[in-house]
A and B are shown apart, each in its own frame.
Chain A
Amino acid sequence: MTYKKAVAVVFTLLMVVCTASCGQNSAHQNGKITLTLWYWNDSINDDLLKQVDKAFPNVHLQAEKIGGNFESKLIASMYADDAPDITAINSADFIATMVKDYNQFVNLNQFSEVRKAKKQYLAWKWNLASTPDHKYQVAIPMDTGPVVLYYNTKVFKKAGLPTSPEQVSKKLKTWDDYIQAGEHIKQKTGVPLVDNLTTVYNAALNQGKTYYFTSDMKPIYETNPVVKHAWNLAVEFHHKGLSADVDEWTTAWSAAATHDGFASFVGASWMVPQLEQSDTRKGVWRIASAPGGPADLGGSFIGVTKDCKYPELAAKIILWLQNPKHQAQAYASLGLYPSAPSAFADPIMNKPSSYFGGENINRYFSASDKAIDIGFQSPYDATINNYFTQELALVAHNNKNPNSAWSEAITEINQQMRRVLVN
């Protein structure tokens, strides 16, 4: 090889680097408009996404499953003006952040289709994605997170407790009833009542109407009795030895579910497939209404970003993806509970589940969902919640003194809020 060839090789390599760009932006490809969509595992039905190209013949939808920290990746892409055309937005906490940065999104209110579709969805859910003046609609609702009680009939039976959903719902109405039953189960079988303290804390917190900030952004996380009650309740579970201390979304949780490691847990509908995949035994688990009353544990939204070149088309696609029929299907396949009430009556949602003892579990979800009354959520709720639940984990795992855990959580939150709100 002569040196001239060598130079040529190096320059070719440099050219390769220069062209090795895999940016993703809406582009025409053989007459089709390519739109990108970001979602995470089990948030939208993969098959439904594949059908978009058929339902919208001029569109090629490139759906990308984002792993890791979805929120930080989305914000990074918005910052780089390289956001996907359409994005799912996880949880009520994150939608608050996105409403704060509403100019990163297309105002969906400008499209008549969206304005028309508004009444299909639960009003409280819809409003979570609007600016306070209701002029700017950042996203449309996907699913909601009505909370129910999942319980292991094998363990309940062994402890001499009722096993039918009606009786369980009646007997475990309040948190106190629930704790009493837990102590009983522990005595009889040695099995702890719940999976971990965080699920207890979150359920109790969301049963309240106020959380960490008032709607005019006054911090109340330290003084709000709802927060304190949720905290004390979780601590009580710990003191009485009623928690198995396995975190959700871990292998340990799956293993514990299979091995009767906990007798029950409170959770939203997306725990249905989690449970089914973790513990393959049929008829062991059943569902009743949650102790302490209904609550919403979150649920997602989907919006169109400012970087999208075909916003109206994208808006039509998200409406199609989230129409009541498709939401009902998402419940059947992924356990995502609809935000469009007309879907609740869809036959596909009311099939008896052989996994849950042949019962139509939808009655408990829909009852919980209809009774939800949600409070104000700030953009910082997720951060704050993290500090509380991490301190709770220390109480659980390291037997940390709950009082000092509480005060450390408050100190850390105060510090972090100072950092976030500097100036």
Chain B
Amino acid sequence: MGITHPDIHASSTARVSVWGQRWKQVKRHRTIYLFISPFYILFAVFGLFPIVFSVYLSFHSWDGLGVMEYIGLKNFELVLTDGQFWQSVFNTLVIWVESTIPMLFFALVIAFLLNSAFVRLRSVWRFSFFLPNITSIVAEAVLFGAFFQTKFGLLNYLLEKLGLGAVDWLNSNFWLQIAVAIMIIWRWTGYNSIIYLAGLQSISEELYDAARIDGASATQTFLRITIPLMRPIILFTVIMSTIGGMQVFTEPQVLTNGSGGPGHGGVTMVLYLYNQAFSNHLFGYGSTIGWFLFVIILILSLLNSLLVNRISKS
């Protein structure tokens, strides 16, 4: 841009001319500022202002209808000591781990299968694996809710037939979290496998040929060539599923009709925020939970980027 390094020892007149020049530049590009302005205007109104307002709200107690009352840091103190909130953090992490690891593993396996030279009907496979991703989560949850019925549910019928015994999917914390994870796996595995497939296809065939000439075994090729070259893409999917995993809401909300299950095992962070703010009408408290959510996501993003740095260095 060339105009942003004014000489420190420059005289005041020179300074004026620099600024004058800059102003000229700005004026010359006024239509461009107009072009980009909608984003900043909308962000100011619907992004920035709400954030500032949520700071204000978090210092107040307010049921939405009555008077707002200033209560200092009370909300923060209450969140810190709120067992249910921390349980919701734990639930979210559990669901995230239970869904992300199998999802990415299966996606990788499927991508490998699809990438082998002799597979036929590749587009049919791709189409059907991706299809779950375009259904809405609400539709998915309504549908899977029927699968997961404890009594007269299809899944438990199969489990009983296989001699494994029925499972109380919607009432036990453990199984409810598995159920949510299964839904996430169903929806996102195909999506991730398409990404991995693209990554695999971008690895040049020559590298493999060279390895083969050097007498490398299949495992060696996989570990030495495929994995290192796929690393950035795998990291990308990990980051995306972390962001998604922290915001899980619809699956448990629809599956349990909003309650999150009797043991609150399906209460994720966002569902807890929603319930306290919009079912119990604790708007101040809900705003405070929002801040905790923000900090937790921030910490996880930092950990993610730390991981990215370390891996890309090694």
Contacts and interface: CB of A to CB of B under 8 A. Distances in A.
Direct contact of A and B (CB under 8 A): yes
Interface of A: 69, 71-72, 75-76, 78-79, 101, 104, 246, 251-252, 255-256, 261, 383, 386, 390-391, 393-394, 396-398, 400, 411-412, 415-416, 418-420, 422-423
B278 A422 contact: no
A411 B83 contact: yes
A246 B151 contact: yes
B172 A398 contact: yes
Interface stretch (B27-35, B65-73, B234-242): B65-73
Q: Is the interface of B mostly helix, strand, loop or mixed?
A: loop
B148 to A, nearest CB: 11
B78 A418 contact: yes
B281 A255 contact: no
B71 A415 contact: no
A101 B65 contact: yes
Nearest to B172: A398
A398 B84 contact: no
Given A72-B278, A255-B151, A398-B263, A419 B285 contact: yes
A200 to B, nearest CB: 16
B230 interface: no
Interface in B25-67: 61, 64-66
B280 A420 contact: yes
28 contacts: A69-B279, A75-B64, A251-B146, A251-B149, A252-B149, A252-B151, A255-B151, A256-B151, A386-B259, A390-B263, A393-B262, A394-B262, A394-B263, A397-B171, A400-B263, A411-B83, A412-B83, A415-B81, A418-B78, A419-B78, A419-B285, A422-B71, A422-B75, A422-B284, A422-B285, A423-B61, A423-B69, A423-B74
Contact of A397 (B78, B81, B168, B285): B168
Contacts of A246: 151
B276 interface: yes
Contacts of A394: 171, 262-263
Interface residues of B, number: 35
A412 B171 contact: no
Interface string B68-92: 0101001100100111100000000
A400 B174 CA distance: 14
B125 to A, nearest CB: 34
Contacts of A396: 171
What are the 5 A-B residue pairs with the smallest beta carbon separation, nearest first?
A393-B262, A397-B171, A79-B64, A390-B262, A422-B61
A7 to B, nearest CB: 13
Contact of B258 (A69, A79, A398, A423): A69
Given A251-B149, A390-B263, 20 more contacts: A69-B278, A72-B278, A75-B281, A79-B65, A101-B65, A251-B146, A393-B262, A397-B171, A398-B171, A398-B173, A398-B263, A400-B263, A415-B78, A415-B81, A416-B280, A419-B282, A419-B285, A420-B280, A422-B285, A423-B74
- Interface-centre pick from A75, A78, A104 (highest chain B CB count, 10 A): A75
- Interface-centre pick from A71, A386, A400, A423 (highest chain B CB count, 10 A): A423
B152 interface: yes
B150 interface: yes
A240 to B, nearest CB: 20
Contacts of A72: 278-279, 281
A255 B152 contact: yes
B65 A251 contact: no
B14 to A, nearest CB: 42
B238 to A, nearest CB: 33
B150 A252 contact: yes
Contact of A75 (B65, B81, B262): B65
- Interface-centre pick from A246, A383, A393, A419 (highest chain B CB count, 10 A): A419
A346 to B, nearest CB: 36
A383 B168 CA distance: 25
Nearest to B70: A423
A391 B65 CA distance: 30
Contacts of A412: 83-84
Nearest to B151: A252
A384 to B, nearest CB: 12
B171 A393 contact: yes
B81 to A, nearest CB: 8
Interface string B265-282: 000000000001011111
Nearest to B279: A72
A32 to B, nearest CB: 31
Contacts of B168: 397-398
Nearest to A104: B65
Contacts of A78: 65
Contacts of B81: 415
Contacts of A383: 280
